[in-house]
Amino acid sequence: MSARPTPVAAVQTRAHDRADFAERWPALLARIAAAAESGARLVVVPEGTVPAYVIGSAPVDPLELEAAAQDVIAVASSTGATIVYGGARAGEHGLANSAYVVTPDGIAGYADKCFLWHFDRRWFTAGDALAPVDTPAGRLGVFICADGRIPTIAAALVARGAEILVVPTAWVTSGRDPHALENLQADLMIPVRARENGVPLVAANKVGVEARSVAYCGKSQIVAADGSVIALAPQDAETILRGTVAVGGSLLAHDPVLPPPRVTRGDGPPLPATLRIAIAADHDPRLHELATTADADIVIDPHTLPASADVAAVDDEAVVDPRALVAPRLDGVRLFVWRASIDARWVVPFARTRAAELRAYLVAFDSPRRRTFAVDPDGNIVCGTFGAFEIAAFGFERARTDAWRVAPATDVREALVRIGNLTTVAAT
């Protein structure tokens, strides 16, 4: 099926406390309606819009949830738009942090958050299904906020026919620099999710502060299937973000029946607890001598890898496929070495995303640009060569690759395993 130009919108809202929902809802509904009335065929609204993200311990009123759903159904019916909004939902196994998928004919389906983040677990049960939702705007692959940190969630949705990824989110920020609010997904991962799956993506986030303790970074996005950002919202203002994307089959179409690309794992003893690793752009004995002078324990260059089962060599095909590095990482690989030759614009985003989402170190040899750099398990570039600076070094700490928890009660390894089990069951 050929791609269809489809107008879309992301409604970036200002955060509200749960106690203020009834007062805020008419204005929120008006913003949703304005986006739909402007011609958008798909409208995306943030996670936890109804009644809020921080819902606390008081029971959620099902009548309030139902009334909000009926209001959104009325907007969809009058405008012909498909609307995806985040809200609490009474599911089979308890309260779910859910995305409601609303069409002119009513609620077409739901997507429940699978990877609960931090205090999500206090109120919600994790979702246990990954299935696209058919709508007039196309087959939607819907996932919520932290689900975007798990590469196999979006990949599974696209493998099952999703034509566009839809992300109601509540991207939080530490506020480390109030003039440049940071969030790893907003700043790095979201364009990679579109690019690696070959489908467009729409993400809607909040701005402001909720419950005096949760700050949001804005940066709602509309991203094309090639990963280029069509529209990006500011970090501090309510807005309706608009754009047109091509909705159809994946540009890449990773075949879910075929195994992911091969990863070449080393053979040898584990890496030490700490290690000073030098990286050199070329296989040059003189650079190895200089590394020794600089107290490096080992040198990695395009032709020299440590003889350890902790290390794996990967190529472009493996790095770009969101499935390929997951199993080796779960099996104990702690350092990936990538000989990169893809488009220069994507080498750093893919390297940082893979390291951060898998809690591993990654060394990239970008040979066409004569650039070598290393990324730590938080997705930070820790060293790199440039020009006449032909060898650099970083500290490898084994313990950091054992630190799968990225927030309280938020364990990436557990999520990767759980999603792997979900996709395996669905495929059988």
Q: What is the pLDDT of residues 397-421, one digit of tens each?
A: 999 999 999 999 999 999 999 999 9
Chain length of the chain = 428
Q: If residue 235 lies in a helix (H) or strand (E), which one and from where to where?
A: none
Q: How far is CA 130 from CA 83, 340, 425, in A?
A: 19, 32, 11
Instruction: Outline where 38-150 has alpha helix (H).
Output: 62-79, 120-123
Are residues 209 and 108 part of one domain?
Answer: yes
| pLDDT (average), residues 95-106 | 97
Whether 189 and 273 map to the same domain: the answer is no
Asked whether residue 102 falls in the same domain as residue 202, the answer is yes
Share of the chain above pLDDT 70, in %: 98
User: Cα torsion for 379, 382, 385, 389, to the nearest 10°?
Assistant: 170
Q: Looking at the domain assignment, is residue 9 inside a domain? A: yes
- pLDDT tens, residue by residue, 195-246: 999 999 999 999 999 999 999 999 999 999 999 999 999 999 999 999 999 9
Assigned domain for 423 exists: no
Q: Is residue 271 part of a domain?
A: yes
What average pLDDT does this structure show over 145-155? 97
Q: What is the CATH number of the domain that holds 295?
A: 3.60.110.10
What does the pLDDT read at residue 321?
95
Please name the residue that has the structure tokens 């060569």. 385
Report percent pLDDT > 90 for the chain. 90
Confidence of residue 257 (pLDDT cuts 50, 70, 90): low
- Does 383 reside within a domain? yes
d(CA 308, CA 314): 15
Where does the pLDDT of residue 294 fall: very low under 50, low under 70, confident under 90, or very high at 90 and above? confident
Per-residue pLDDT, 308: 97
The whole-model pTM stands at 0.96
The verdict on residue 193 lying in a domain is yes
Q: Same structural domain for residues 238 and 287?
A: no
Q: Can you tell me the mean pLDDT for 30-39?
A: 98
Residue 258 confidence (pLDDT) = 79
Q: Into how many domains does the chain fold?
A: 2
Whether 34 and 78 share a structural domain: yes
- Residue 418, in any domain of the structure: no
Whether residue 59 has pLDDT greater than 80: yes
Confidence band (pLDDT; 50, 70, 90) for 250?
Answer: confident
Parent domain of 309: 264-405
Write the pLDDT tens digit of every residue in 314-338: 999 999 999 999 999 999 999 999 9
163 and 41 share one domain: yes
Which three-class secondary structure string do you get for 307-373?
CCCCEEEECHHHHHCCCCCHHHHHCCCCEEEEEECCCHHHHHHHHHHHHHHHCCEEEEEEHHHCEEE
**Domain final residue pick, 214, 247, 280:** 247
Whether 281 and 240 map to the same domain: the answer is: no
Domain boundary among 187, 215, 247: 247
pLDDT of 102 higher than 60: yes
Reduce the DSSP state of residue 85 to 3 states and report it: strand
What was the pLDDT predicted at 426?
A: 57
How far is the CA of 153 from the CAs of 3, 59, 146, 230, in angstroms?
23, 30, 10, 23
> What six digits make up the tokens of 223?
């991203």
pLDDT of residue 428: 46
245 vs 227: CA distance, rounded Å: 11
Q: Given a cut of 60, is residue 253 above it in pLDDT?
A: no
Same domain, 79 and 9: yes
| Local structure of residue 163 (DSSP, 8 states) | S
Residues 219, 368, single domain; the answer is no
Alpha helix stretches (DSSP H) within 118-270: 120-123, 151-159, 184, 190-197
> Does 328 lie in the same domain as 231?
no
pLDDT of residue 27: 98
Please give the Cα distance from 264 to 312 (Å, whole number): 5
**Domain final position from 213, 247, 281:** 247
Do 204 and 271 lie in a common domain? no
- Does 342 share its domain with 299? yes
Q: Which residues pair with 167 in a beta bridge?
A: 203
pLDDT band at residue 175 using 50, 70 and 90 as cut-offs: very high
Q: Do the beta carbons of residue 100 and residue 89 sit within 8 Å?
A: yes
339 falls within a domain: yes
Residue at 353 is within a domain: yes
φ, ψ for residue 145, nearest 5 deg: 45, -110
Average pLDDT for the chain: 95
